[in-house]
Amino acid sequence: MSRIGKYPVEIPAGVQVALAGHTLTAKGKLGELSLQLTDLVDATIEGAHVSIVPRSETAPARMMWGTTRALVASMVRGVSAGYAKTMEITGTGYRASVQGTNLVMNLGFSHDVVYAIPSGIKVTCEKPTIIKVEGVDKRLVGQVCAEIRTWRPPEPYKGKGVKFVGEQIRRKEGKKK
């Protein structure tokens, strides 16, 4: 039985949730998100709560029950508080800056890496080695961070590269004489 699907999603003050057919829309102070519901689950809005129930007791319906509830909770939190991830660049001469709608990173290549920031995402560089990615959509914030990280993932010998703040990199010992 789904443990997460049983709990209704609480709608905070300032957030409006609407259900039109199979589309659930959340609107808040930071923006608007919508979710296309599958045919396996039903959603109901009761006061300040959104409840998700499976239409049948089949395994796929029960799987989508918890998944849909988690997606709705992420949507509601995104439009009310938003999501943010902070990344850190480690390495001699490695740095980043925001120029217009592009993130320009110097990561040890012969050229600068230019990453076009997608719409709905705000990227700031507080220091030349700190990148902060903010947005309403949890999936999009994570995807942007993953794309930035793929340019220079942290390596285990010196720890150089792009990593999340607080992430532990397993270090390896270098070769011995």
Listed residue (84, 74, 85) closest to 166, CA to CA: 85
Residues 27, 57, single domain; the answer is yes
pLDDT digits (tens, 9 = 90+) for 30-72: 999 999 999 999 999 998 999 999 999 999 999 999 999 999 9
Residues 116, 63, single domain; the answer is no
Work out the pLDDT band at 4, boundaries 50, 70, 90.
confident
Residues 23, 41, single domain; the answer is yes
Residues 64, 94, single domain; the answer is no
Q: What is the DSSP letter of 4?
A: S
Average pLDDT for the chain: 93
Q: Is residue 176 part of a domain?
A: no
Residues 70, 105, single domain; the answer is no
Q: Which helix (H) or strand (E) holds 147?
A: helix 138-150
Among 20, 51, 80, residue at a domain's last position: 80
Q: Is residue 66 part of a domain?
A: yes
pLDDT digits (tens, 9 = 90+) for 141-177: 999 999 999 999 999 999 899 999 999 999 999 888 7
Residues 17, 68, single domain; the answer is yes
Q: What is the DSSP letter of 143?
A: H
Q: What is the pLDDT of residue 2?
A: 59
Among 26, 55, 80, residue at a domain's last position: 80
Torsion, CA 144, CA 146, CA 147, CA 152, rounded to 10? 140
CATH number at residue 49: 3.90.930.12
Containing structural domain, residue 61: 9-80
Q: pTM of the full predicted structure?
A: 0.87
Among 45, 80, 115, residue at a domain's last position: 80
Q: Is residue 114 part of a domain?
A: yes
Structural domain count, the chain: 2
DSSP per residue, 37-53: --TTEEEEEETTEEEEE
Q: Is residue 3 part of a domain?
A: no
DSSP per residue, 50-74: EEEEESSSSHHHHHHHHHHHHHHHH
Residues 93, 62, single domain; the answer is no
Listed residue (12, 64, 1) closest to 35, CA to CA: 64
pLDDT digits (tens, 9 = 90+) for 6-19: 899 999 999 999 99
The CA distances from residue 59 to 66, 88, 148, in Å, are 12, 41, 37
Q: Is residue 104 part of a domain?
A: yes
Residues 126, 159, single domain; the answer is yes
124, two tokens: 């700031």
